[in-house]
Structure 1
Amino acid sequence: MRPSEFQINGFPVDGVVPKHETQAAEFLKKYPDFDGRGVVVGILDTGVDPGAAGLSITSDGKPKFKNIVDCTGAGDVETSKVVDAKSNGEYLEIEGLSGRTLRLSKEWKNPTGKWHIGSPMNDFDKKQEWSTFGPVDLLSYGVHVYEDGNITSIVTVCGTHGTHVAGIIGAHHPEHPELDGAAPGCQLVSLMIGDARLDSLETSHAFSRACAEIVKNKVDIINISFGEDAGLPNQGRVIELLRDELSGKRDVVIVSSAGNEGPAYTTVGAPGGTTFDIISVGAYVTGNMMQAQYNLLKPVNDTPYTWCSRGPTLDGDVGVSIYAPGGAITCVPPYSLQNSQLMNGTSMSSPSACGGISLILSALKAREIPYSASSIKKAVTFSAKSVRSEFEIGMLQVIEAYNYLVETKDTIDRDVSFKVSGPQGNRGIYLRESADFQEASRHTFTVSPVFYDGQESLKAHFEMQLTLSATEPWIQATEYIMMAGTGRSFAIRVDPTSLTPGFHFGKIRAYDAKSQQRRVVFEIPVTIMKPFEVTDNTLSLKSLTFEPSKIERRFITPPKGTTYAEIRIRPLCKLEASSMLWICTNQLLPQTKHKDSSSELILGIVENEVTSKTFKVNDGYTLELCLAQWWSSLEPMLLDIDVTFHGIKSTAGQSLCLNASAGYKRIDCFSLKKEPFKPKVVFDRFSDSYRPVSAVIKPLKFRDVLPDGQQLFETVITYKFDIKEKTEVTLKFGVPEHMYDNGFNGIFFMLFDAQKQLIHYGDMYPRPHELSKGEYTVRLQLISVYTQVLETFKDVPLTLGRKLKKEITLPLFANHIDFCDNKKADYGNATIALDRPKSFIIGTDLSADIYPSDVNPHSILMGSMKFNDKSSIPASMFLPPKVVEEKATTEDENEENLVRLEVDILSKLKGAEKDKHLKNLLSMHRKSLPVQLAKLDNAKDDQERLSTVDMILSLIDVSALSQYFSNEAKTSELAVKNVALENKMKEEKAAYIKALQVKSEVFSRQSNVDLEAFGKTVQTLMNWVEDSDTKLVNAKRALYTKSGQPALALQSLLKALEENGNSREGDVKTLLQEAITLCEELKWPFWKQVFEKLVIKKAPPYGYALF
């Protein structure tokens, strides 16, 4: 716009928090008192900040929040310690967990005189009290006290997401009503299911607790703007709670996001897009929103967002129930240092719909019109405004849905859901694979009205006359059915044989035969994605035109033998700037999550630049190739697109598993077409497995009683392992890696160091984490209502995956004779073709020197078998037993072994018997190094220790020892080792170092130590151990302390903490207390405070953290 054309038109506020698209704004004008009043909305999210703008009061002056609850346990603090107060003049004093003294006013009344450690604040649901941690961070919090004061839950938020969602649903700005949410009169219950310990990822346990809180807080409608992939739709413990206990039995209306994994088909997430009776909401963007939110240079047509997930579900349901605006600018927590923020996603469309539906509930409750969760879903679905969706999904219309409910309030099926169950329990018909299109098919469906316990009379009297109608000529069904309370079965015939390749959709609609308005009672969707076969392994799409939000789809039967494909995009038009093209591929593999069988590429298309990418393909399954121009990418495009299919397969199948003890393995390879052939088997990781050291099953507390009264139980399974040096590890347990479609009500683990400091946590999804050298304990919590399930899993193994320091590559040979001759294959410029298969031999029995020290015979190597730079499969190998070296023993060695045996016996004796045995050993073998070391271990005082150290040092030829280890580094790897001499030298070196260490420790305890002798001992020790060795670090620290050099002593102490802080033998608390003393001596108050806090963190007084 030129300056001369500028005029003040006002800001397009209708698009800030869009409400006109859903008729919410019009409904509020028509029914201003039905603005959500009387409706309680539960928000299952990252938590909602009660201090955010617009979330203080409702439109009728009530507190906006009824309750805020942390359902995850992340905010739980153990306050079970009870202490007695001591009088000190005008104050009462108690000792806190940290050891610090806390002063209390004598005016505080406490009849028992015993105090729980904590700060006073009412439970939020009692008085809606909340505060912030300080004026700088501005992080709001409230509290709940559980278990008679033993657990205090500090309720915060773990992100901005939930507050934004709350603003869309029900924010109220008295001075700026145009910024209100859809239902400004509603009250909110914040139920935090996003776990702060998992970067706000939801957990099954949090969902279980949230369901109980929904019932406890009498919530009418909930919003779930969370979701994940599921390989099994409409199944799992969380799904059962939402579907059956809340929606089914208690008529809690559930609104949830469909997902942001589009634009490919079958990308809806759980729970929203995959669960029966949940209202699943897709995201739409309109002209008002584009103006206010996106600053586009020119308008585009209203459209679903490109990334919005689409149906159908794996079991044939449409997946998305309705559309709603999927973006808004509204409130976020004050800690983010902004008043409002633009967010988009189905996370925003769901609360937009939830707020609109809250208006409907407000009106129904005020007018005492009965409703059910089922009737609400039918109303919003069947009254939605058409937006030309391929699945006939419409935009929510609040007024039309309300009118529908008023008109149907007396119908027999008003509160009844109809369970549609076809073959394998499918909720619709979904034909996609090549075998589905050879001939017409029949599908038997059973449709049953859903009744729960206590509704037997309703079930007995239920009866409806229905007419069935198919929307497409290739779908056939019977014309009439009489529906009783027990349901009815009937057949549907689908004939796709004459359909053209591509997408086709239709429905079987059941109408109430007595209704003059042809009211739909239920629907059965039928989805066809008919594929075609490519020729010459190539698909060419010439001169495809794209414009904002346009989508091109192709359904392809990949050539047999395909493992990957390459896509090449060449623009044929001029482009002012880079234009965004979204490429999605999707295949449906049994019980497999979408992300595990799909790929997603977002490309910037530039003029005169050819773009090429590859993606994985599974032959035998229809491939959807989805090409979409980003909705806000404004320039039209003309593109040539070529897809070439490639593939090398082998007799190993989809993964290679080797047994090193077999010696060798032959692999035969076959190719789809001529390809480079450069096989390689390489391992870059290894794993070890651990069995639990303990498993304890017990019931959880009252927060973990489900809405149906079932008690949740937990088993806490404990594992222990050591890490020899700093490395990245991945923890995996033998439980399903699924969130919603899972048989447990909770999976969570915590990783602790030797001092019980919490280091890492996780759930069923493996994530890498870097660990330092040390000893670790893992505590895994599995939760279920069934103790027998927990009993089954009490011995579940832990698999610890780690990186190899150096990759291990297996030798390859052309044939087994070359294998015998150790003549390795050289593939150079080799190729493989359809009519020229290749074979090779993998050598598996490697020299023991190849394996790192932390790899043992029980480890499994992991990596890949590569056929060329673009084609590979996972590979693993079980290792062989260690090589046992034969060694002949001399008379002297036999005598030495007998002495060692006598020393071993000493460790099993006690008291006088032990002293007598040691005395006998010393009389017979006074000059035996093992005997003197045993004497050192059993010395009574420092004087005896020093005399024993001197004896040990006299038995060792230090000059010969030095010469041996200096020459060892120069010895050729091919030289024959003198094993006996090597073992003798290693034993003497260890004894020498131990003697120096003990001598240093004795010096450190002497009040009038000879500093010169102490210094010489430490200097000698420095010549034999690494600078980071704990023995040297501790010796240097003691020397610096004795010599009055506190700064150097502190430096050594910190080194000791680094090296020995994660050992069960390391006394971290003592080291930190010593650091505090050194800081006092140095007059460093800041660092003193740092170490005082570290004492609590690194050596927690409460033991293991709570789950």
Structure 2
Amino acid sequence: MIKKNCAIITKMHVEVPVDTDFPVGGLLPKKETGASAFLSKYPTYDGRDIVIAILDSGIDPGVPGLQKTSTGKVKVIERFDCSGCGDVNTSTVVKPEDGYITGLTGRRMKIPNDWKNPNGTYRIGVKNAFDLYPDRLKDRIKAEYKKKQWDEGHRKTVSDLNRKLAKFESQQQNNNNPNENEKFEKEDLEAKLDVLNNLDKKNCDSGPVYDCILFHDGEKWLCCVNTSDDNDLSQCPLLGEYSITHEYLPLTKQDSLNFSINVHEKGDVLELVGVCSSHGTHVASIAAAYFPDSPEQNGLAPGAQVISLTIGDGRLGSMETGTALIRAMIKIIELKQKMNIHVINMSYGEHAHWVDTGRIGDLVNEIVNKYGVIWVSSAGNSGPALGTISTPSDINDEPIISVGAYVSPEMMVAEYAMRQKLPGAPYTWSSRGPTLDGGVGVHLCAPGGAITSVPNFTLRYSQLMNGTSMAAPNCAGAIGILLSGLIQQGLPYSPYLVRKALENTASFIDGIEIPAQGAGLMQVEKAFDFLVSYHDIQERDVRFQLQCGSCNSKGIYLRTKTNTSKHTFKVSVDPHFLNEDEVLPETKINFNMKLVLTCSSSFVEFPKHLDLSNFTRMFAVNIDTSSLEEGLYCNFINAYDVNCIAKGPVFKIPITVIQPREITEPKFTVKYNSVPFKSNTIKRHYYVVPNMATWAVLKLTSNEDSGRFVIHTIQSLPRQHCKALETNKTIAVTSKTDSYISFQVKGDSVLELVIAKYWANIGEAALDYSISFYGVKPNQPSINMHAAVGIHAIEVQTLQGEEISPSITLKNSVQILKPLEGKIAPLRARDVIPPNRQIYELVLVYNFSITKACEVSPNLALLSDMLYESEYESQLWLLFDCNKQLLGCGDAYPSKYTVKLEKGEYVIRLQVRHDRKDYLEKINEAPLLLQQKLANAISMDVYLSYSQALVGGKKAGVTHNSNPYTVVPLYIAPLPSDKFPLKSNNTAHYLTGYITYAKDESGKKVDTYPIKYFLTDNSSPKKTASNGNSSGDKTKADEYNEAVRDLQTSWIAKLDKETAEKLYEDLTKTYPNHLPIHSSYLQLIDPLDKRILPNINKKPNTSLEDLNKVVSTCEKVIENVNEESILAYMATKTDLRSDAAKFKVQMEQQKNVYLECLARKGIALCRIHLLSENADAQLQDIGNVWKSLLKFIDPSDAKVLTSHVLYFAIWHSFVKQQYGRYLKYILKLQEDKPTEDIERRVIEVCQELKWKHLVNYLERMLPSKYPNAYRPF
């Protein structure tokens, strides 16, 4: 407590005493767990000699409290980004030329003279800063860049142009017949404004891209990141490898993002290590921060050192990945060879569908059970319902200490600025046990909030964060000081003994359920006494693996509705030694314990004694629920050592029984009146949901003032995580209006309803509430309908005669992508599990195109929604455009990641990893689902009869049958082709959406069912009907000659120039008026795929002879085309002649060839003009060509611009120096197929126009938009 002299403030003649004592002890709580008292008693047991590995979002080593330990050692001793987000490919080796090197961005950089580089070579790479930036920092930098570098210049430029345009229009207001130049001048000004406004709307800063230079000075690797604006490397500090030098620096002064480096693969990979969020730094500060001048701000173990292992991937918004988790564990095993890592803290986790298998869990078990590292993890923030524990806290064998979050009265006033103190208790949202398979879920609880250091990039000294993420490091830090004391006393320990000490000495909180607190609130001093007293017990290094029932669960868990009240569970207890492969045989032989079993619940029958040696013992446990009322029953069968009862249970068999109630009330409505609620009061109800029920409605009313309540409902479904059928909402309940919450339910399954007054909501309230069940149940929970099958029939039944009003909405199309290639290769040294388990990668490549802009979400369905439980180690996809620009990425959870795409060609590269190559071979042809959001939702028609569906008659409206359980048939008609035209939409194989059956809005909102509508083949059969191209009266000889002519014509553009010109000459003699011959020849001398854009800095690199040849050839074609006849045909609305189809083909062909030749001629004339010394040369001819084109197309209409005409429009505007028009046309070309060359032409013109803000923006974007290689995984 900070104490200062009290002061008296006089205000409005009233003296108010001010208490200047601030409860600093509640900012980072240590008193509640006895940690403060322990350190007062043992000041040197402060974590010194202890190393804590933090698996999180990365630790900023530059923040207050994380520079040094209490003994002066470096606090953060290792930093690794295990996700791959910070990787830079530095396999490119260069040597300086004249003291300069050119980076992969194209920037030329001078090597400082004071750099020591014995071999003279440098490795270069490139990194986008936004790869390293957390989302919050990215948003700040974007906003600052836009404000400082864009907005001011943009506003000034637009204002100047508006004034020019207004002045021009004022001068022309009496001119009713402006000349061509005046029209062009106005069009150019308007085009400039359009270009600027469009670019302002599309402004999407992709961040600065920096060159990375890596070299070896003979002793260590050194790195320089070129962040200077003028490419002066002497302004950019050198950084050595963090493991050797412990050096770190802010990337730039503006971002304040501290980073360090590591080097892998002999220099081929540079790893830049930052942080992907504030989370990890806050966690590390709780565990081990040290403030020499403010000890009240210290973490739990100020003397401990920490290792930062980043498992959150910045590309995924700090989501952990399998790759990062496995690499982190590999790094722990490697580091164990040179230092002792004592504790792991992992305040991360997801919800798994099952917990008995999974690649990641296997390695977690190995870390704890083989290498002896104590692993602490957050239980999760998904409460207050039961069974909401996150993974890895619930993985098989329970090697991890799972920690729930507790809030103390001191924390309430110090951290949360509450008006009054309330009794300490677990937070409302802290996840509750048991695990899916009956494990305890929460082993103990610890303070779950703190105000402490956060990374410098936040520009904050400290910040309040709460969650089980904060409780876990509080526990991990406490374990650190316990181990520090044991090590200084020379006493042995094991992960199993430490967990047992914490559980057996925790302070159980009266009135709080076991699933919320486990053994209770951690007590440090008592745990230390336990560890000292029992450090040499025979079971110190033994874990007891429990398996219950036919599923080998971690505990006994009865939740489902059953037809019997008597249940028998087979229980096995199997002792396993720490690193048992290295345990001496005599140790295993001599192990024997005489155990007495106890349990205080009368409904549990069990044996009273058990003799346990080094082999599996099995026995039966009977559960009789016949006498139990509705509610939750939690207890343990405790096994005590008969030789030492005082040390507490040797192991515990958790028992959780949920006794639901059957709904017998009228209209399936259960009511509760005047139920009292205090802060953090939790009421649980369990119901067997009626068979036909599909949704329920909860109605709440407060009898007094409003209160803040958490409503949580869960139904546990087999092999699915807790969120599969869940509702979790925080609402205000008042006395003025009723509050309603509707949610989906599944019949014949147990529903848990939790109503909790939020922990921080002061005051008392009495609630009236009721729950009502309703149902419109289909016989098909999901519908797969194929367009070719026709009408799809379904049946529905109601619970109590509810009104039926079916509605189908399709929101997405799905394209099935097959891999273009799949390659399996061994990964490098970072991905070898010691001693030599090689991990392989499978990289699948998928190509696709988008014809209409949309949002897409890739989904490798085979492995989706699985991380910890997956048999495969990891999956990660990266989506690139045709220029290798990374547009988005995602992992195992496809619903989290969408990417907005414009029309274009795209590539998805997907990586899956495993240490068994044969497993990867099984999926090397796995298809990828590309979900594409529809611009407008599509509805499908539903009918009450097959006949009406067949003819598209009367649709199903509102159907009501007062007799429940009556079967109502419904019929879904196929989707009309005009609702989803295949040719005008992105490629799709099926459509997805949902169907609702209830008329009631509360049911329609939540009671939805998935539907997939499979489309027919996209390809259309070739029509056999005549199209007007019949051969007529031609002889076979005529047809043969024409075929030979057409074949020779097609080869003109493919042959070498000399041969092609001879062939062209021969063909024109025989067929002087056959236009395709000239078109093919033009493609030879002026190829479209090598189209050259005008360059403001240099003249065209083409001979006048070739350009004149293009002009003369085009004129030959133009002379043979009757322009008037084409225009007359285009003006014809209906052609009634008998050969209209044939004539249409001929006229379209003539028009296309004519426009192509006009455009080619115009471009050639423009290039001749630029080569000519006469400034006015060819301008008249160029203008005439432009006028001829205007007869056919409107160049302002982007839809009708062909590539030929668009290129000519670019050249035409360029030679007339109308750069607004030029930009408008060239940006249209850029939209169709973006290239770096086009982008540089745009930059050149913007420089000419002195649009500095736009030049800076486009140059900043260049390296990101046009990288030289795909981003590595």
- The equivalent of 1:272 in structure 2 is 393
- The equivalent of 1:1049 in structure 2 is 1222
Q: Is 2:286–2:474's contact at 8 Å kept on the other side of the alignment?
A: yes
1:255-654 equivalences in 2 (<5 Å):
255-274=376-395, 276-388=398-510, 389-391=512-514, 392-422=518-548, 423-435=550-562, 438-451=564-577, 452-455=580-583, 457=585, 458-517=587-646, 519-535=648-664, 536-573=667-704, 575=705, 578-651=706-779, 653-654=780-781
Q: Is 2:854–2:935's contact at 8 Å kept on the other side of the alignment?
A: no
Moved more, 456-465 or 1076-1085: 1076-1085
SS at match of 1:386: coil
Q: Considering only aligned residues, what root-mean-square deviation do their CA atoms show, in Å? A: 2.8
Change (3 A) 1:432 1:921: farther
Q: Is 1:747–1:782's contact at 8 Å kept on the other side of the alignment?
A: yes
Q: Is 2:884–2:1266's contact at 8 Å kept on the other side of the alignment?
A: yes
Change (3 A) 1:187 1:1010: same
Moved more, 907-916 or 694-703: 907-916
Q: Is 1:663–1:845's contact at 8 Å kept on the other side of the alignment?
A: no
Paired with 2:1140 and 2:971, the residues of 1 have a C-alpha distance of 36
Change (3 A) 1:207 1:1074: same
Could you tell me how far 1:862 is from its partner in structure 2?
A: 1.2
Change (3 A) 1:1086 1:820: closer
Change (3 A) 1:963 1:268: farther
Paired with 1:406 and 1:987, the residues of 2 have a C-alpha distance of 95
Q: Is 1:274–1:319's contact at 8 Å kept on the other side of the alignment?
A: no
Q: Deviations over 1:589-643 (max 9, x none)?
A: 1121222221112111123111112111111221000110101111322222121
- The equivalent of 1:671 in structure 2 is 798
Could you tell me how far 1:977 is from its partner in structure 2?
A: 14
- The equivalent of 1:1065 in structure 2 is none
SS at match of 1:385: coil
Q: Is 2:678–2:764's contact at 8 Å kept on the other side of the alignment?
A: yes
Q: Deviations over 1:978-1036 (max 9, x none)?
A: 87676666655554554444344434433246234434545626527832757355433
Paired with 2:978 and 2:860, the residues of 1 have a C-alpha distance of 29
Paired with 1:963 and 1:606, the residues of 2 have a C-alpha distance of 76
- Say if 2:1258 is the partner of 1:1091: yes
Q: Is 2:534–2:647's contact at 8 Å kept on the other side of the alignment?
A: no
Change (3 A) 1:986 1:791: farther
TM-score, normalised by the number of residues in structure 2: 0.81
Q: Deviations over 1:101-155 (max 9, x none)?
A: 2112344333322222311311111111011123332111111122222221111
Paired with 2:772 and 2:387, the residues of 1 have a C-alpha distance of 24
1:91-130 equivalences in 2 (<5 Å):
92-117=99-124, 118=213, 119=224, 120-130=238-248
- Say if 2:304 is the partner of 1:186: yes
Letter in 1 for 2:1084: N
1:150-161 equivalences in 2 (<5 Å):
150-161=268-279
Could you tell me how far 1:716 is from its partner in structure 2?
A: 1.2
Paired with 2:774 and 2:1062, the residues of 1 have a C-alpha distance of 79
SS at match of 1:1005: helix
SS at match of 1:585: strand
SS at match of 2:843: strand
Change (3 A) 1:822 1:216: closer
Could you tell me how far 1:337 is from its partner in structure 2?
A: 1.4
- The equivalent of 1:1064 in structure 2 is none
- The equivalent of 2:1013 in structure 1 is 877
Letter in 2 for 1:803: K
Change (3 A) 1:992 1:158: farther
Q: Percent identity?
A: 31
Aligned with residue 60 of structure 2, among 34, 41, 49: 49
Change (3 A) 1:341 1:828: same
- The equivalent of 1:751 in structure 2 is 879
Moved more, 873-882 or 1022-1031: 1022-1031
Change (3 A) 1:530 1:346: same
Letter in 2 for 1:1037: I
Could you tell me how far 1:877 is from its partner in structure 2?
A: 1.2
Aligned with residue 51 of structure 2, among 35, 40, 51: 40
| Unmatched runs of 5 consecutive residues or more in structure 2 | 1-8, 125-212, 214-223, 225-237, 1087-1105
Paired with 1:1026 and 1:64, the residues of 2 have a C-alpha distance of 64
- Say if 2:1233 is the partner of 1:1060: yes
Could you tell me how far 1:470 is from its partner in structure 2?
A: 2.2
Paired with 1:977 and 1:516, the residues of 2 have a C-alpha distance of 105
Paired with 2:1226 and 2:408, the residues of 1 have a C-alpha distance of 64
Q: Is 1:86–1:93's contact at 8 Å kept on the other side of the alignment?
A: yes
Paired with 1:946 and 1:919, the residues of 2 have a C-alpha distance of 17
Change (3 A) 1:587 1:684: same
Could you tell me how far 1:348 is from its partner in structure 2?
A: 0.6
Could you tell me how far 1:922 is from its partner in structure 2?
A: 5.6
Q: Deviations over 1:900-927 (max 9, x none)?
A: 8974786589537877877776666655
Paired with 1:60 and 1:340, the residues of 2 have a C-alpha distance of 24
- The equivalent of 2:294 in structure 1 is 176
Could you tell me how far 1:697 is from its partner in structure 2?
A: 1.1
Paired with 1:949 and 1:831, the residues of 2 have a C-alpha distance of 77
Q: Is 1:662–1:845's contact at 8 Å kept on the other side of the alignment?
A: no
Paired with 1:1047 and 1:857, the residues of 2 have a C-alpha distance of 36
- Say if 2:397 is the partner of 1:253: no
Could you tell me how far 1:34 is from its partner in structure 2?
A: 0.6
Paired with 2:1183 and 2:576, the residues of 1 have a C-alpha distance of 85
Q: Is 1:1047–1:1082's contact at 8 Å kept on the other side of the alignment?
A: no
SS at match of 1:417: strand
Could you tell me how far 1:214 is from its partner in structure 2?
A: 1.8
Aligned with residue 1084 of structure 2, among 938, 946, 950: 938
Q: Deviations over 1:1029-1050 (max 9, x none)?
A: 5735543332232223445534
- Say if 2:19 is the partner of 1:8: yes
Q: Deviations over 1:354-386 (max 9, x none)?
A: 111110011111112111111111111111111
Q: Deviations over 1:451-481 (max 9, x none)?
A: 3322262334322222222231111111222
Letter in 1 for 2:513: E
Q: Deviations over 1:1052-1071 (max 9, x none)?
A: 4344333321xxxxxx2212
- The equivalent of 1:764 in structure 2 is 892
SS at match of 2:384: coil
Paired with 1:8 and 1:558, the residues of 2 have a C-alpha distance of 56
Aligned length: 1085
SS at match of 2:323: helix
Could you tell me how far 1:683 is from its partner in structure 2?
A: 1.8
Q: Is 2:864–2:892's contact at 8 Å kept on the other side of the alignment?
A: yes
- Say if 2:31 is the partner of 1:20: yes
- Say if 2:1160 is the partner of 1:1026: no
SS at match of 2:410: helix
- Say if 2:327 is the partner of 1:209: yes
- The equivalent of 2:231 in structure 1 is none
- The equivalent of 2:198 in structure 1 is none
Paired with 1:261 and 1:965, the residues of 2 have a C-alpha distance of 67
Moved more, 199-208 or 1051-1060: 1051-1060
TM-score, normalised by the number of residues in structure 1: 0.93
1:833-982 equivalences in 2 (<5 Å):
834-844=964-974, 846-847=976-977, 850-855=980-985, 859-868=989-998, 869=1001, 870=1004, 871-881=1007-1017, 884=1021, 885-888=1023-1026, 892=1030, 903=1046, 911=1055, 927-928=1073-1074, 930-939=1076-1085, 941-950=1106-1115, 952-953=1117-1118
